[in-house]
Structure formats: C-alpha cells, structure tokens
C-alpha cells in the first residue's frame, strides 16, 4: 500500500546517512585512525538528525555559500534554492582546521557520549560573520539570548562536507520507545491510515494549554503527533526525562489512544523563535506531518520575539517552500466564566479576573520556590503537577527562573482561589 502522507522535504525519499552492518564496521574502523574533531551538543544532535533522515535532504554540514544564503534568504544555492531556515554548520579551532587538507576525511567525536559519532570528508573551510548570522536568524546579537550565545561560542573556522553517521548516542536506550526515527514514525502513521497529521512541538511539560492546542488540531486532522525535544535546553528548563513522564501521563489519561502518537527527537533548542518555527515545520514534514501547530511565542525566549511572530513568518514563504503547513492557534487561556479552556477567538469575556493565562515560566518559578500551593488547579492536570512537585522537591540546588513578557500566566488567580 502506497503512503498517503506528505513527501519528505525536497520531494524525494528520506536521506538516511546512518550506516549499519558491515558498512558501519568498516567506517568505524577507519574513523579510529582519522583526526578527531570534537562536536558541541548542538552539532552532535544535528549530526544524529542527519543520520536518521530528520534533516532530509541534507547530506552534511553546510558550506559558506549555503550558510550565507540560508541566513539572508532561507535558501540553499547548492540544492537549487531549496528552502532552509537555519544554518546547520560545524566549527573547529583554527589550528585544528589549518592542519586539515581539503579532501581529507575526519572523525567527529562527542565528549558527551565518549564516542565517534561519524566521519566527514572536508570539502571546504571558511570563516563566518557571527553577528550577521545572529542578526538574520535570531534578530538580535544580544549574548543573553541562548541561541546567540551558541553561535558566538562557535570556534573560529567552519568545516563543510558530506557525513557518514555511526552512532545515535544514548538516545535510543535512554529514551526507548520515545526517541523515534522519521521512517518509523511514517510507518506508524501509515499503519493507522492517517493522511493529515498535526505536529505539536514540546520543550516543556504538557499543560492544559498544550493539551487544548493538541485537541483543537485533533478535530481537524486524522491524528496528533506530540513530538517532544529530548536534546539539551537552557539552564532552568525542566529536563527531558521529567518532561517525558509528564507528557506520557497526560496522553495516557486525557487523550483517545487511536488519535494520538508521541515521540521524541534529539536536537538542542536554538530558541530562534520564528525561524525555528519554520525549521520545526520542515523536519516534521520529514516525519510525515502535514501540519505544524504554531501557538503563542513558538520557540521563543525572553522578550526577543512578539507573541505571534512565528505565525507571521509563514506568510513570507514562497509557493512550494514547504509542504507542511502551519496551523495557527490564538492566545489560549482558562476562562472562569466559560468554565473551560478558550482563546481570544472564542471567548467574549474580557472582564478583569475572568481569564487565567497559562504560563509555563510562571509555573516553573512557583514550583522552584516551593510555592506549589499557589498554582491554580486550572493550570495543569493534577497527575502532571504531582510529577513536577516531586522533581523540584528533589533538587539539591535552587533553580532560578526568570519571568518575561509572556509570563503573566497567573495574574487572575487571586479572583478565583482554589
């Protein structure tokens, strides 16, 4: 039976760079004799994602022409102007880069996993204007922005070329049953007979607002793909294993099993706001999703982006840039007068104290300060809140959580005590 799902990005089949069997053994043996280039956590996640086809149709880390064009125009000249919103690059110390010849093969090493993750044939060495990348991709050069800091901390020289991937690190074992490759997810969608699938991006525990977004999408699609990040986040965010427990608990208790599927992916967050929203839609297309849910402040951080900038940027795309379409959902909240979840488009009640805006940042701040009793019952399902309270109670060091523009979440709770 042929698949009814959207095709991978670029229109072909999944580009799988992860070696197996004898090819893997031979490449690993060769890699042990090559110069080792250390990878950052972000680079490691990007390499793994290329290996499993998540970044189809990329074949390796980008060269300078593609890097510059992706930053300025979101296009890859080397692939006939293929849409791509964020650079995927690898950097090295200058002295190390100087020692590498063009055409030489190198091994890519992860300190995090203490193993060789892959190999690359170096076709290009180049330097970049880091501020140019930050201003174009992140719209700021402020080092307080975690994505900007990630770019500015890159080493002096970028290395580009095709890769062969040898390992997925500990993701398959640490997140067994959650970490899934695109081909496996597509097979599950096909098995269920789904054609239209809406993806929900999660980097936080799943609260009532996320649940509401997913259920809205579920009404207009065959299925919901709850896709959680299991790579690294910024300090103060809740770790992946805790988030997985929260999400699984909510899915098990409050969703129709046949209409929802949950999985995880290995990338680090870049916090690029609108550009990252586009990247999320791009690689969800590779997983077989026809739609990407874009809510308030998608992939944002602090006050760097407007609440709906990630929705607006989809209007700037040219025809054919993406097959996966954005499913925009307005600001959501609990309305005490409606006695349920609502949005700006569905709720007429604007009186002071009627709306409880659900902020994950505000929740983390209260829990980190031992103020679980101050969390309104309408914010989170009790099973989820129990997991989070236990997590924060077990911390040996206090986590500082900074609030920002979007963290007005519980201002109205005083009018409606539990």
Domains of the chain, by residue range, sit at: 21-171, 332-415
Q: What is the CATH number of domain 332-415?
A: 3.40.50.620
The answer to whether domain 21-171 and domain 332-415 are alike in fold is no
Parallel/antiparallel/unpaired status of strands 157-165 and 60-61: antiparallel
Indicate the helix (H) or strand (E) that contains 294.
strand 291-294
The answer to whether the beta carbons of residues 208 and 380 sit under 8 Å apart is: yes
Q: Tell me, what's the pLDDT at 80?
A: 97
Catalytic residue of the set 42, 158, 181, 204 = 204
Q: Is 208 a catalytic residue?
A: no
* Cα–Cα distance, 256 to 187 (Å, whole number): 20
Q: Is 204 considered catalytic here? A: yes
The single residue listed with the structure tokens 């207009």 is 220
Tokens at 190, concatenated: 């096909």
- Residue 411 has a pLDDT of 41
Q: According to the model, what pLDDT value does residue 365 have?
A: 81
Contacts of residue 309, defined as CB under 8 A and 6 or more positions apart, other chains included, come to 273, 274, 300
N-to-C CA span, the chain: 53
Among the listed residues 186, 203, 284, 296, the single catalytic one is: 203
Q: Which residue has the tokens 């593609």?
A: 66
- CA angle centred on 107, ends 13 and 92, rounded to 5°: 100
Q: Which CATH number fits domain 21-171: 3.10.400.10, 3.90.550.10, 2.60.40.2470, 3.30.930.10?
A: 3.10.400.10
H, E, C per residue of 233-258: CCCCCCCHHHHHHHHHHHHHHHCCHH
DSSP string, 123-157: -EEE---HHHHIIIIIS---TTSHHHHHHHTS-SE
| Cβ-contact 285, 9 below 8 angstroms | yes
Helix, strand, or coil (residue 108): strand
Q: pLDDT in tens for each of the 418 residues of the chain?
A: 689 999 999 999 999 999 999 999 999 999 999 999 999 999 999 999 999 999 999 999 999 999 999 999 999 999 999 999 999 999 999 999 999 999 999 999 999 999 999 999 999 999 999 999 999 999 999 999 999 999 999 999 999 999 999 999 999 999 999 999 999 999 999 999 999 999 999 888 888 989 999 999 999 999 999 999 998 877 777 888 898 899 999 999 999 999 999 999 999 999 999 999 999 999 999 999 999 999 989 999 989 999 999 999 999 999 999 999 999 999 899 999 999 999 999 999 999 999 998 777 778 888 888 888 888 888 889 999 999 999 988 887 765 656 554 443 444 433 333 3
């Amino acid at each position: 039976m042929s698949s009814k799902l959207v095709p991978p990005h670029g229109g072909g089949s999944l580009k799988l760079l992860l070696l197996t069997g004898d090819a893997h053994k031979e490449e690993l043996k060769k890699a042990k004799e090559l110069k080792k280039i250390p990878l950052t956590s972000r680079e490691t996640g990007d390499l793994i994602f290329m290996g499993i086809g998540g970044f189809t149709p990329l074949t390796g880390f980008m060269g300078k022409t593609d890097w510059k064009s992706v930053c300025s125009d979101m296009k890859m000249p080397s692939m006939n102007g293929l849409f791509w919103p964020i650079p995927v690059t690898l950097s090295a110390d200058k002295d190390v880069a100087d020692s590498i010849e063009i055409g030489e093969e190198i091994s890519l090493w992860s300190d995090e996993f203490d193993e060789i993750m892959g190999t690359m044939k170096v076709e290009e060495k180049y330097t970049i204007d880091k501020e140019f990348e930050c201003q174009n991709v992140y719209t700021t050069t402020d080092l307080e922005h975690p994505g900007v800091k990630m770019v500015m901390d890159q080493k002096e020289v970028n290395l580009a070329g095709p890769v062969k991937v040898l390992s997925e690190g500990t993701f398959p074992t640490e997140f067994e049953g959650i970490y899934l490759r695109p081909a496996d997810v597509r097979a599950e969608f096909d098995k269920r007979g789904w054609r239209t699938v809406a993806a929900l991006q999660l980097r936080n525990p799943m609260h009532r607002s996320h649940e509401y977004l997913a259920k809205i999408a579920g009404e207009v699609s065959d299925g919901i793909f709850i896709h959680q990040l299991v790579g690294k986040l910024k300090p103060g965010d809740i770790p992946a294993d805790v988030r997985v427990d929260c999400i699984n608990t909510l899915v098990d208790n409050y969703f129709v099993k046949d209409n929802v599927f949950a999985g995880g992916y290995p990338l680090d967050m870049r916090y690029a706001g609108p550009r990252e929203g586009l990247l999320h839609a791009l690689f969800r297309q590779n997983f077989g999703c026809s739609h990407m849910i874009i809510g308030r402040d998608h992939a944002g951080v602090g006050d760097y982006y407007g609440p709906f900038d990630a929705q607006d940027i989809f209007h700037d795309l040219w025809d054919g840039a993406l097959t996966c379409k954005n499913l925009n959902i307005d600001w959501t909240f609990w309305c005490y007068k409606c006695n349920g979840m609502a949005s700006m488009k569905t709720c007429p009640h604007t009186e002071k104290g009627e709306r409880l805006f659900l902020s994950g940042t505000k929740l983390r701040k209260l829990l980190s300060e031992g103020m679980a009793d101050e969390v309104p019952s309408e914010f989170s399902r009790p099973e989820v809140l129990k997991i989070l309270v236990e997590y924060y109670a077990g911390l040996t060091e206090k986590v500082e959580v900074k609030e920002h523009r979007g963290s007005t979440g519980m201002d109205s709770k005083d009018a409606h005590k539990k």
